[in-house]
Amino acid sequence: MKSTPGGRHFSAAMLFVIVAAIAAGQAQQPAAPAQPPTTPAPPAAPGPPRQQPDPEPPADLPRPSTTDPRANLKAGGPGVKAAEAAWNMELVSNLPKPEGFFDPALPLGTRPPEPPPVAAGAPRTPPNPNQLAYTNSDLAFSGNNVIVGSYHGFNTYNIERANKPQLIASVVCPGGQGDVSTWGNLLFMSVEQTRGRLDCGLQGVVPPVSNERFRGVRIFDITDLKNPKQVAAVQTCRGSHTHTLVPDPADKSRIYLYASGTGGVRAGEELAGCSGKDAKEDPNTSLFSIDVIEVPIATPEKARIVNQPRLFASDTNIAGLWMGGDHGPNTQRTSTTNQCHDITVYSEMGLAAGACSGNGILMDIKDPKNPKRLDFVSDKGFAYWHSATFNNDGTKVLFTDEWGGGGRPRCRAVDPLTWGADAIYDIVDGKLIHKGYYKMPAAQTEQENCVAHNGSLIPVPGRDIMVQAWYQGGLSVFDFTDSANAKEIAYFDRGPINGEAMLSGGYWSTYWYNGNLYGSEMARGIDVFKLKPSEHLSQNEIDAALQFRLQEFNSQNQPKVVWPASSAVAKAYVDQLNRTKGISAVRAGAVLSGLSKVDGLRTGKERNAAEALTTLDAVAAQVEGDAKTATGRDAVRLKALAETLKGRAQALR
């Protein structure tokens, strides 16, 4: 394996497409109109394996609602806007894709190829890699900017005014799937398709072996967001479908990446050391591992692969986990565990969760260069373990199942609510304990690709709340504080892109960032949302979530949320305790009265300040006493409320 410095400069002009220059220091040229890339040979097959004819699920599994307002939305079409449905949230902005990032012949999506029946054990036929050539993919946030990845490159928007996002730069650099993340002045982008070129060119790479091909992780310097410069390109054997940034707690001068490749293995003649052989034939196969890349932050051009851990091993067998196939009659056909699709790290907890095709894996990453498997699980209803999210306490993890690979309709009235869904696990003594499922509950049509996809926590104190993308199933906000009984509390959805044919589209990712929800719509651009107060989520809880601010956010590098001791946070706990009848009306009134008096203070030196602060301390002590006699979640919230009240008073002393 080797790291190849790019050093290729990009022309920069606001609202113009930026095209990579061929060599470092080359004179900048105006952007040429984007052309559909040529079909490379041989094509890689990104994503999970194509499904065989669907297994028959048990008849007694729950199914989605056909009477939900989202179930029968009017479809869109050429010149026709699809109908919308929203509950407890509102769309505040939509910005379509910029020129050069959509196919003029199909501006609102691409038609996925119809997969032929596949016999058991037969080799899969790779899809046409041009099929998703302009698809929007994942999001990364840096300061007041959001970067939208794409199979065709990436676009950067200023979101200082979230209701009016402004495109500030576009970079054309094809190769798919274009997942992005940021760390300081560096941007990382995953490249997996065989059309990817070292120079970001549009012409693709035709020969089966070529030194012009690039598959791996690109690194850009984004010190000037309007003029990104490629500074490194780390080649990998399977390319990078996704990647995860992993801070090193012992050395701030470097960062690690966990690169997950799901495509075919390239020839050893193209990249030394690559082997696509089965584990029984070659113990050094490029299958059954991930790539750990070390990046010196000050000298990213020295980035290199430093480990390829065998996370799926059992004793001496590197292929020691799920070997593919169904789990018996009326069960799902689960992919072989020879790859991870996505890995989410929770560095503050020293944990990672790997969604690894046939298994969900819990890892110890205290030594980030050498991740170790703690536990693994399988599920008879999962087809392809896709992604993962921890709760903020690090006491549970949610895994998603991308049944059908994201390109098929998997939320129809006939599809079970436990297939293509989320599985929720409690983490107990380093073990994963299954507790429940969640799936967007509204039936979708045959014209809507729909299945569980990417999301993030919404930082409401005292609760586990997540926003999640479901492709053309829209986005869903749900509460999984009770792991066994996740409940939807808000949603947004549109009708099919086209009512006559299945065109791929919908939300790839939906994330919370500094008070707003952002959706990367595969076909329609980028959407921005705000939550609205309801019986399920109060204004105080929304205000408390606003107290947590980030300067950078990459969803697979999950941050620890720490809330300030503010009145908004205290009032959120009161609302939750009132909702569960976990606090008396008298005590709740005393808390709100005490906060009201303290909120009237500016410096804590006012004439009446001492009395107000003493009163709030007394109320905090009473709440603390209540916590000692309470149980379960109420006890946790009462204790957190008492600590918040004490902190609020202390801040003014």
Q: What is the pLDDT of residues 529-561, one digit of tens each?
A: 999 999 999 999 999 999 999 999 999 999 999
Q: pLDDT-derived band of residue 50, with 50, 70 and 90 as boundaries?
A: low
Q: Give residue 109's pLDDT.
A: 61
Which of the two residues, 116 and 514, has the higher pLDDT score? 514
One domain for residues 482 and 595: no
Q: Kind of pairing, strands 136-142 and 166-172?
A: unpaired
Q: What's the average model confidence in pLDDT over 416-422?
A: 98
Evaluate whether residue 502 is within a structural domain: yes
Q: Based on the fold, state whether residues 456 and 581 are members of the same structural domain.
A: no
Question: Is 559 among the domain residues?
Answer: no
- Rounded CA separation 543/626 (Å): 25
pLDDT (tens digit per residue) in 329-354: 999 999 999 999 999 999 999 999 99
What is the helix (H) or strand (E) element at residue 387, kind and residue range? strand 385-390
Range of the structural domain that residue 632 is part of: 567-650
**Number of domain units in the chain:** 2
Domain end point (choices 553, 579, 599): 553
Question: CB within 8 A of 124, min separation 6: which ones?
Answer: 45, 49, 50, 118
Sheet containing 396-401: give its strands across: 385-390, 396-401, 422-428, 431-438
Residues 392 and 512 in one domain: yes
Strands (E), 68-215: 84-87, 89-95, 136-142, 145-150, 153-158, 166-172, 177-183, 186-191
Residue 121 domain flag? no
Residues 137 and 198 in one domain: yes
pLDDT of residue 423: 98
Answer yes or no: do 233 and 278 share one domain.
yes
- Reported as a pLDDT band with limits 50, 70 and 90, residue 27 is very low
Of 553, 585, 616, which residue is a domain's last? 553
Q: What is the pLDDT of residue 119?
A: 52
Is 454 in the same domain as 513? Answer: yes
Residue 35's pLDDT is 37
Q: Up-side HSE of residue 421: CA atoms within 13 Å toward CB?
A: 25
| 45: confidence class by pLDDT, cuts 50, 70, 90 | very low
Helix (H, G, I), strand (E, B) or coil at 590: helix
One domain for residues 621 and 522: no
Tens digit of each residue's pLDDT (9 = 90 or more) over 562-616: 999 999 999 999 999 999 999 999 999 999 999 999 999 999 899 899 999 999 9
Indicate if the pLDDT at residue 84 is higher than 80. Answer: yes
Q: Is 242 within 8 Å of 341 (Cβ atoms)?
A: yes
Of residues 408 and 118, the one with the higher pLDDT is 408
- For the segment 460-468, the average pLDDT, to the nearest whole number, is 98
Does residue 122 lie within any of the structural domains? Answer: no
CA angle 626, 632, 638 (to 5 degrees): 35
Answer with the one of 530, 553, 576 that is the final residue of a domain: 553
What is the per-residue pLDDT across 299-326, written as a single tens digit (0 to 9) for each? 999 999 999 999 999 999 999 999 999 9
Say if residue 145 is in the same domain as residue 84. Answer: yes
* pLDDT at residue 14 tops 70: no
Q: Do 589 and 612 sit in the same domain of this protein?
A: yes
Whether residue 624 sits in one domain with residue 540: no
DSSP string, 204-236: ---SSS-TTB--EEEEEE-SSTTS-EEEEEEE-
Specify whether 537 is located in the same domain as 621: no
What pLDDT is attached to residue 610?
94
128 assigned to some structural domain: no
pLDDT score, position 10? 34
**pLDDT confidence of residue 111:** 54
Is 612 part of a structural domain of the chain?
Answer: yes
Report the alpha-carbon distance of residue 193 to residue 392 in Å, rounded: 35
Q: Is the pLDDT of residue 431 over 70?
A: yes
Residue 139 domain-assigned (yes or no) = yes
105 and 149 within one domain: yes
Please check whether residue 291 lies inside any domain of the structure. Answer: yes
CATH of the domain at 149: 2.130.10.10
Round the average pLDDT of the chain to a whole number and report it.
90
Please give the pLDDT value at position 346: 98
